[in-house]
Amino acid sequence: MRSVASTTDPSSPAAAERGLTLLLGGARSGKSALAVELARRQDRPVVYVATASAGDDDMAARIERHRHERPDHWTTIEEPIDLSGALERSAGSMVVIDCLTLWTSNLLECGTTDDEVTARATSVASRAIRRDAPTVAISNEVGMGIHPETPLGRRYRDVLGRVNQAWAAAAGTSLLLVAGRAVRLDDPWLHLVDTS
């Protein structure tokens, strides 16, 4: 169990040196803006790992908007599947992964089983925490909305929930963003009374 002392303010110098930060939230919650600002405050090079593919006009517009939000001198790796490889190619650089939501969708579209997606999430998150530079991962929290009508929608919601749990368990700092504000997500056992 991680102690409260092991978590770090994501804007502090200690968090900037290394470690994993997970930013969760809904659409337009401020996740990407915070990740970009955290990366701008770094002295080291930044690699932006984009997992999206422009499948339609709306997604193409979103991708273009995100490109304009980040500095031109950052390296962008467009990698919809192999996050482990993207991390390997980013040694010494701060990495922003945008986002686990689409990465999960991409894996499911390729026929990856639910258990394989969860195992990959655990493996890549473990790799991220062993890096010599910081990693910020962005993901959507989709489990608080309307219950999906379709079996595929329910499957996706459940798998993404497990992916988010794997990354949150590995992260030194996990934040839930709503309306540009953040709430720290701690291990719930840190807040429960020991009844043994």
Q: Are 115 and 162 in contact (CB under 8 A)?
A: no
* Active-site residue, from 66, 73, 147, 191: 66
d(CA 39, CA 143) in angstroms, rounded, equals: 28
Whose tokens are 């701008």? That residue is 40
CA end-to-end span of the chain: 16
Q: Are strands 46-50 and 173-178 parallel, antiparallel or unpaired?
A: unpaired
Q: Is residue 191 annotated as part of the catalytic site, yes or no?
A: no
Q: Are strands 94-98 and 75-78 parallel, antiparallel or unpaired?
A: unpaired
Q: In what order do the strands lie in the sheet with 46-50?
A: 75-78, 46-50, 94-98, 135-140, 20-25, 173-178, 181-184
List the one residue out of 116, 109, 106 whose CA is nearest residue 49.
106
3-state secondary structure of 134: coil
Q: What are phi and psi for residue 176, nearest 5 degrees?
A: -100, 120
Catalytic residue set: 66
